[in-house]
């Protein structure tokens, strides 16, 4: 496999994609914030079945972080990320600087509703506006035909699908199954923050989530039971433990076709999220 090309500017990204499309090739995009792990690499492998050329974007997006969150300490390890991609189907890494994505006097925002309401936005009201904005920009900068996102960030996946549909963006959105560690913990860049003791606690998350997903208790009782289990397991705060409609993330109703169990919980200052079909 040839060496992966690194692109830093919108102009160069579009020029590369234009050359590929002139050959009749289909272009795929794997958006990431770097700190690549096996979950990210599985996205590259999966989208290779839907695209002839693959772009992996690496960009830590400032608009999805609040002032008190971990933007400055979020792991940045481009050299290791490039090593991780070796042997996978990536053709290009798009790694722009923040000033390339958000130039001086940038003044546009996206306000999301629908699947963006509740859950993550109860605690982080800014979050999906920032995610939708950067993903819309990555779509237009890359001119990708297809993009893939992991189901670990399930609410984000639904938000991006709605945003692309509402803005008539000509990109197919794929969802990919969660990749888990041997004990069930969903792979995440934030897992690197966990010390040995915290990692033991984190490993209990998927079992509690599975119990929530199959619980035959009334919904509120099942959610409360999951919160209690998380605290007993050593999590220091539970942001939510919820059963929702799997298509809209609204409250489950008589016409709900699918259900989804979702959890966000913290071990000290490390926030973990996970979900499963119910």
Global confidence as pTM: 0.94
Task: Give the pLDDT score at 233.
Answer: 98
Pair 156, 32: CB distance under 8 Å: no
Percent of the chain with pLDDT strictly greater than 70? 99
* Strand 53-58 to 27-32 pairing: parallel
Quick one: pLDDT band at residue 80, thresholds 50, 70, 90? very high
Residues 142-152, mean pLDDT to the nearest whole number: 97
Pair 100, 9: CB distance under 8 Å: yes
Percent of the chain with pLDDT strictly greater than 90? 93
Residues 26-46, mean pLDDT to the nearest whole number: 96
Residues 107-125, mean pLDDT to the nearest whole number: 95
Question: In sequence order, which residues have a C-beta less than 8 Å from that of residue 98 and are 6 or more positions away?
Answer: 59, 62
pLDDT digits (tens, 9 = 90+) for 181-198: 999 999 998 898 999 999
Quick one: pLDDT band at residue 2, thresholds 50, 70, 90? low
* Biggest CA-to-CA distance, the chain: 58
The domains of the chain, with CATH numbers, are 5-176 (3.40.50.620), 189-277 (3.30.1300.10)
Active-site residue, 40 included = yes
Provide the β-strand partners of residue 271. Answer: 266
Eight-state DSSP code of residue 180: B
Eight-state DSSP code of residue 153: G
Q: Is the pLDDT of residue 1 over 80?
A: no
**Count of beta carbons in the 10 Å neighbourhood of residue 227:** 20
Q: Which of 11, 40, 111, 126 is catalytic?
A: 40
**Alpha-carbon gap, residue 154 to 146, rounded angstroms:** 18
pLDDT digits (tens, 9 = 90+) for 204-247: 999 999 999 999 999 999 999 999 999 999 999 999 999 999 99
Task: Give the pLDDT score at 215.
Answer: 97
Pair 62, 76: CB distance under 8 Å: no
Produce one character per residue of 207-223: b if its CB has 16 or more CB atoms within 10 Å, e if not: ebbeebbebeeeeeebb
Q: How many residues does the chain have?
A: 278
R_g over Cα of the chain: 19
**Alpha-carbon gap, residue 109 to 54, rounded angstroms:** 28
């Amino acid at each position: 496999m040839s060496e992966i090309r690194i692109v830093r500017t919108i102009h160069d990204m579009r020029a590369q994609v234009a050359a590929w499309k002139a050959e009749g090739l289909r272009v795929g995009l794997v958006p990431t914030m770097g700190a690549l792990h096996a979950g990210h690499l599985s996205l590259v492998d999966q989208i290779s079945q839907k695209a002839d050329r693959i772009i992996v974007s690496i960009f830590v997006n400032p608009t999805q972080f609040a002032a008190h969150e971990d933007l400055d300490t979020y792991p940045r390890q481009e050299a290791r990320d490039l090593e991780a991609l070796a042997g996978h189907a990536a053709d290009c890494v798009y790694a722009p600087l923040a000033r390339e994505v958000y130039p001086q006097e940038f003044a546009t925002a996206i306000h999301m509703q629908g699947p963006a309401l509740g859950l993550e936005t109860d605690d982080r009201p800014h979050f999906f506006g920032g995610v939708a904005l950067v993903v819309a920009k990555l779509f237009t900068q890359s001119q990708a035909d297809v993009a893939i996102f992991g189901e670990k960030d399930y609410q984000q996946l639904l938000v991006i699908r709605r945003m692309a549909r509402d803005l008539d963006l000509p990109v197919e959105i794929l969802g990919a199954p969660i990749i888990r560690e041997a004990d069930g913990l969903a792979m995440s860049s934030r897992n690197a923050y966990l010390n040995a003791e915290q990692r033991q606690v984190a490993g209990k998350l998927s079992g509690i989530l599975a119990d929530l997903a199959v619980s035959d208790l009334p919904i509120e009782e099942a959610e409360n039971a999951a919160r209690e289990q998380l605290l007993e397991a050593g999590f220091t705060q539970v942001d939510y433990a919820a059963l929702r409609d799997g298509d809209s993330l609204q409250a489950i109703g008589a016409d709900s076709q699918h259900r989804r169990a979702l959890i966000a919980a913290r071990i000290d200052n490390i926030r973990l999220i996970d979900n499963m079909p119910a």
